[in-house]
Amino acid sequence: MAKKSIGYIKLIWTCPRCATRNPGPNKFCNGCGAPQPEDVQFEQPAEADLIKDSAELARAKAGPDIHCPYCGGRNPAGVKFCGACGGDLAQGKARQAGRVVGAYRAPSGATRPCPACGTPNPLTSLKCSNCGSALPAAEAPSPAAPARAPSAKTPLLIGGVAAALCLVAAVVLGFLFFQRDERPGIVESVAWERTIEIERFGPVEHQDWEDEVPAGASALSCEIEYRTTQDDPAPVATEVCGTPYTVDEGSGFGEVVQDCTYRVYEQMCTYTVEEWAVSDTRRSTGTDLNPQWPAVSLGSDDERRGGEHETFTVTLRSDGDALAYAPESAAEFAAFAMGSEWTVTVNGLGAIVAVEPAR
């Protein structure tokens, strides 16, 4: 899936000493002045504006902050020496990045009252715009409860029962298939059919994607159709994106991203190619033991003989049943004289497995 960047937001961190919620990039707590601890986890506000300021954007994209190995101070990515103690940051530990913070919510205009003075403040604010009091965490407005996946228990049960029944059926069928029963049989009737295809050289219509149409083909028409779904954008495609979510950048900022796929549309073309194709079939049939090929006369140079096919059927009367048998060749067929006696091997499903002359 393609990851599409929507922008960056400022995350927040909560001071473990005084519980003040601070803007992510702040190194020190706005409430008590304590340094931001190394292990504090960034969160996102209930709603957040995308950053527009270019200096802040550059910081957001710089990468995870580095904690000084000597004093623990927090330094932005790319800095060589600690801003607090001057220590070499080469051995410093970069903050963890890449964690999904949660679904991103753009400002909706919703407000909540300041607990100190009652002034309504947008959900994006950490401080009251009127009295400056710290505002507690806001609940994200939830427009709809997430749809719960349907219970999988019932389909599983039905599936299990169906699988058991299938197994029983397979065992019974297998038993019948391999069961053998020898019976006497007398040839009651015979039949044969022989066909010869006539092929004609001419335009034949095909359909393919535009890039698969063969070189010498004449295109008739093309229509745009859905072809495939892929990770990368294409000239004609519909973008299908999931819910935007925020990823911790390790710098007090979060990147808002969306996973997208692309439904690609391309030209499906109808075209013709000059080639041989079956245009007619000549047929001969009979109910004796002398199969014949049909007479074929070709009309012109653009006609030729195509495939030849033959089928033979013998009906044997056995204990009042009519059993059908299909000899594989004209030579085998020729032995089934009317009224001749045979030993027929039948399986449990009533199909003939073998036919031998009666001893």
Choosing from 1, 103, 116, 176, the residue that interacts with Zn ion (CB under 5 A) is 116
**Is the Cβ of residue 114 or residue 314 nearer to Zn ion in the bound state?**
114
> For 67-191, where are the alpha helices, taking DSSP H only?
153-178
How far is the CA of 328 from the CAs of 9, 227, 253, 312, 353, in angstroms? 77, 45, 78, 7, 13
Binding segment toward Zn ion, per CB under 5 A, in 56-64, 120-128, 217-225, 232-240: 120-128
Distance CA 182, CA 343 (A): 7
Element spanning 61, H or E: helix 54-61
Give the span between the Cα atoms of 340 and 185, in whole angstroms.
8
Q: According to CB under 5 A, which residues from 75 to 104 bind Zn ion?
A: 82, 84-85, 87
Q: What gap in Å lies between CA 48 and CA 11, rounded to an integer?
A: 9
Q: Indicate which single residue of 26, 108, 125, 133 sits in contact with Zn ion (rule: CB under 5 A).
A: 133
Residues 5 to 24: which contact Zn ion by CB under 5 A? 15, 17-18, 20
If the CB atoms of residues 69 and 294 are measured against Zn ion, the closer one turns out to be: 69
Q: Determine if 217 is a binding residue for Zn ion (CB under 5 A).
A: no
Residue 131 found at the interface with Zn ion (CB under 5 A): yes
CB of 69 to Zn ion, least distance (A): 8
Whether 55 and 64 have beta carbons less than 8 Å apart is answered as: no
Angle at 45 (CA atoms; ends 42, 50), nearest 5 degrees: 100
Q: How much helix, strand and coil, in percent to the nearest 5, is found in the chain? A: 10, 45, 45
Query: Which of 5, 130, 207, 285 is close enough to bind Zn ion by CB under 5 A?
Result: 130
**Does 126 contact Zn ion by CB under 5 A?**
no
Considering the rule CB under 5 A, would residue 114 count as an interface residue with Zn ion?
yes
**Which long-range contacts (C-beta less than 8 Å, at least 24 apart) are formed by 89-92?**
92/66, 92/67, 92/68
Q: Which stretch binds Zn ion (CB under 5 A): 112-120, 201-209, 236-244, 299-307?
A: 112-120
Stretch that binds Zn ion, among 65-73, 99-107, 183-191, 197-205 (CB under 5 A): 65-73
The residues that touch Zn ion, with contacts defined as CB under 5 A, are 15, 17-18, 20, 29, 31-32, 34, 68, 70-71, 73, 82, 84-85, 87, 114, 116-117, 119, 128, 130-131, 133
